[in-house]
A and B are shown apart, each in its own frame.
Chain A
Amino acid sequence: MIWLAVVAGSVGVYLLKLAGLSLPVRVLERPAVRSVAALLPVALLSALVAVGTVDGSGGITLDARLGGLAAAVVALVLRAPFVVVLVVAATATAVLRAAV
């Protein structure tokens, strides 16, 4: 039973990854497809940032992650390097969580 889920799930998720790459070139060369494709990661990753910061068990949960993301925004505005942004976000979250 677990093996069925592991194998079917793994193959399915792998095929989903392969599917987007496998669009025919003539479809990809259409200007409208290129415009949508260029904005897709912007939309999906922004949604992922929002959901990853506040999702909880079946709803919205406001916790230390929000402070961590705010700290990351400050670091980004101050033009901190990528790795510093990660460290700042994680540290701020950990400190807030320990303090509350």
Chain B
Amino acid sequence: MTDIASDLRAVRRDALGIGVYAVAFGASFGTISVASGLDVLQTSVLSLVMFSGASQFALIGVVGSGGSALAAVGAALLLGARNSFYGVRLATLLPRRDLRAPRSLVTGQLVIDETTAMAVGRNDVREQRYAFWFTGAVLFVLWNVGTLAGALFGRAVGDPAALGLDAAAPAAFLALLWPRLADRTSRLVAGAAAVTALALVPVAPGGVPVLAAAAVPLLAVLHTSRRAEVRS
């Protein structure tokens, strides 16, 4: 068994690993945002206040292609809606004081893919809470530094796709999920969720395929509780 200090050190190392690609993606976001017609201040407000990569890319994508403000906001909200579900999970894991105002206003800002994946990838509750806060703080700083650098000096930033960084995010989420896939229920839910999302990619707007996967655990729990009722 490892001691808690070395476990927390492992959390920090993993968070910094995510931080490296967050800087690169932040820089790419800043570059593309300015190229899409937003100014440096608007670009930074997005990274500071919206702070959710997929939503930010969706918003500037719509703005850049000449879409309306309403369409841009709609696209960002569709991609951000999954964070509500992450919040439900994190609310069962974080201490009560992190969930009470005014502190909850800070906690809420850090509810994103990476912090959730880092937290649920740990077994001990202390490590889970530490992983959430440490990853959130590191990402918030590095995402914003990257964004500003990209917005100001965009042309000097390399193409993240040429470095293979577009595969780093899926690989990171898979790696963090990996220990959770040890039990059969989780594996079934993961497989069904992936298939559901992929089936919707060609037909649904951005954000909806991933969001729809939230129905899978709902159906799984309904199914098992009904079976338990029949048995009893």
Contact = CB atoms under 8 A, between A and B. Distances in A.
Interface of A: 1-14, 16-23, 25, 28, 32-55, 58-60, 64-65, 68-69, 72-73, 76, 81-83, 85-86, 88-95, 97-98
Contact of B108 (A14, A72, A83): A14
A65 to B, nearest CB: 4
B170 A38 contact: no
A25 B37 CA distance: 44
A54 B87 contact: no
- Size bracket of the B interface: 35 or more
Interface of B: 13-14, 17-18, 20-21, 37-38, 42, 45-46, 49-52, 55, 59, 62-63, 69, 72-73, 76-77, 80-92, 94, 96, 99, 104-105, 107-109, 111-113, 116-117, 120, 161-178, 180-181, 185-186, 189-198, 201-202, 209-214, 216-218, 220-221, 224-225
Contacts of A9: 46, 50, 55, 59, 72-73, 76-77
Contact of A42 (B52, B83, B189): B189
B193 A68 contact: no
